[in-house]
Structure 1
Amino acid sequence: MATDGLAPPYWSWAGLLLGVRAMLPLLPGQFVFGMAFGALAAQREFSLAEALAMTSFVYAGMSQFVAVQSWPEMLTPSTIAALVLVTATVNVRFFLMGASLRPWLGPLPAWQIYPPLAINTDGGWLLATRYRERGGADASFYLGGQLLSYCMWVLAAVPGYLFAERIADPRAYGVDLLMPAFFAALLIPSWRGVSHAAPWVVSGIVAVAVTSLAPGYWFIIAGAVAGTVTAGLMND
């Protein structure tokens, strides 16, 4: 039985296709973002096989950019530890995102739910939480969107790598703003009025403040924790 008071989770082909369709509007931005990673990998002199291996097995979006940009000329225990730390900093939000899905997906056996959680993405998570808030119970919805997102991300690295010289500076074309813009657009249907906006505001203020005070990607952790604590303290 789900602990959020809604229907328990189950699997179906219909839910899988529904999740795929829900993910379609995000694909153009994700494809261009994936191309930008392929271009960056080429500029950093990774081979195409190495770029595909990273994007297939690491599959971590922004932290892949951070890791490639920070890639040392020689791998040593200390440089590897630094890469692990910086990518963990960027990806720590997924602990909170995964925990938020437990009330819905928790009743499923571990072997059914942990593999899909390994390919969790920001957009897929947000779509899934919106689906659940509306009473949806089919866990296949979550899986369908995430699988399509994974395939698109991996494939997008290839043309990005091959045409690296033409997109040498993704920010010149606004590529770095595509995914944040899509994510912000997806938040609009989740708006519940000013009284529920406090976590969003606190998270944004803390993230901006930490950006100016601390180098690196600590603003992600600080913003996520601040917003989560604020939401937990609210008497809904």
Structure 2
Amino acid sequence: MLSFIPFSLVLGAQAIQKGMSTGQISLLTAVNFAGGSEFVAVNLWTSPPHLFLIALMTLLVNSRHILMSAALTPYLKDLPKRKVLPALFFMCDESWALAFTDAKSSPAQKFSYYFYLGTSFGLYLVWIGCTTIGALIGPIIGDVTHYGFDMAFVAVFLVLLKGMWKGCKMAIPWLVSLLVAIASYCFLPGAWYVLLGMLAGLAVAFMIAAYD
């Protein structure tokens, strides 16, 4: 939750600089709990906003959640849908990684629904609250990226990867995904690098599993 504070402040401040109101950015973070796509939406924001473009880019960036939720399927299959579907609304990269690691490391390989829900809801409240604070103080402190706060976004993902490290061979899909994403980012407009990087990594992981 502490790691959420820096880049949620950055998001709120950037939203104000793009012409959004505090209420708009608070509503955005509340209904679309996915930081990466929110940064994309804010960067694409104009007056009036290009809603179709923003929706398409949001879909591309959030497409990774399809794989994330699929990875949790074996642990969620015994839970009723009335619990699973609302809980998935609060899923983000950090809560997914914590819940997945907790389930994999537990003696019975059992998913802790309440651990996941508590983690997700705590992150959700911090994200909305600090984004709102960032929007309120943004006009006062100016461009907060000058202070290096945006580096927290990268640092969090590096920590998540470290916790999921299983050796060099299992990291090959990560490397392929990274290279494809970089190439796509350099040569294709928009957020296609997220989808293409994900698909490339998934294809390599499938081939490795099939070969083994």
Partner of 1:87: 58
Partner of 1:34: 8
Q: Which moved more, 1:105-114 or 1:187-196?
A: 187-196
CA distance in 1, matches of 2:112, 2:139: 44
Partner of 2:172: 198
Structure 2 residue 135 is matched with structure 1 residue 164: no
Shift of 1:167: 4.5
Partner of 1:97: 68
CA distance in 2, matches of 1:67, 1:206: 23
CA distance in 2, matches of 1:74, 1:187: 38
Partner of 1:122: 93
CA distance in 2, matches of 1:232, 1:141: 30
Residues 116 and 143, structure 1, Cα contact 8 Å, conserved in 2: yes
Structure 2 residue runs of 5 or longer lacking an equivalent are: none
Partner of 1:175: 149
Letter in 2 for 1:74: P
Q: Structure 1 residues 214 and 167 mapped into 2: Cα distance closer, same or farther (>3 Å)?
A: farther
Residues 9 and 135, structure 2, Cα contact 8 Å, conserved in 1: yes
Q: Which moved more, 1:183-192 or 1:138-147?
A: 183-192
Calculate the TM-score normalised by the size of structure 1: 0.81
Q: Structure 1 residues 207 and 92 mapped into 2: Cα distance closer, same or farther (>3 Å)?
A: same
Residues 6 and 150, structure 2, Cα contact 8 Å, conserved in 1: no
Residue 208 (structure 1) aligned to one of 172, 175, 182: 182
Structure 2 residue 208 is matched with structure 1 residue 234: yes
Residue 41 (structure 2) aligned to one of 54, 60, 67: 67
**3-state SS, counterpart of residue 197 of structure 1:** helix
**3-state SS, counterpart of residue 211 of structure 1:** helix
Residues 206 and 222, structure 1, Cα contact 8 Å, conserved in 2: yes
**3-state SS, counterpart of residue 137 of structure 1:** coil
Q: Structure 1 residues 189 and 83 mapped into 2: Cα distance closer, same or farther (>3 Å)?
A: closer
Partner of 1:17: none
Shift of 1:145: 0.9
Letter in 1 for 2:55: V
**3-state SS, counterpart of residue 166 of structure 2:** coil
Partner of 2:20: 46
CA distance in 2, matches of 1:55, 1:154: 6
CA distance in 2, matches of 1:167, 1:222: 37
Q: CA RMSD in A?
A: 1.7
Q: Which moved more, 1:141-150 or 1:53-62?
A: 53-62
CA distance in 1, matches of 2:141, 2:152: 15
Calculate the TM-score normalised by the size of structure 2: 0.90
**3-state SS, counterpart of residue 234 of structure 1:** helix
Q: Which moved more, 1:142-151 or 1:161-170?
A: 161-170
Q: Structure 1 residues 123 and 80 mapped into 2: Cα distance closer, same or farther (>3 Å)?
A: same
Residue 112 (structure 2) aligned to one of 138, 162, 171: 138
Structure 1 residue runs of 5 or longer lacking an equivalent are: 1-26
**3-state SS, counterpart of residue 68 of structure 1:** helix
The count of corresponding residues between Structure 1 and Structure 2 is 207
Shift of 1:166: 4.7
**3-state SS, counterpart of residue 210 of structure 1:** helix
Q: Deviations over 1:49-83 (max 9, x none)?
A: 222111112222121222122123225xxx32112
Letter in 1 for 2:120: Q
Shift of 1:158: 2.5
Residues 128 and 142, structure 1, Cα contact 8 Å, conserved in 2: yes
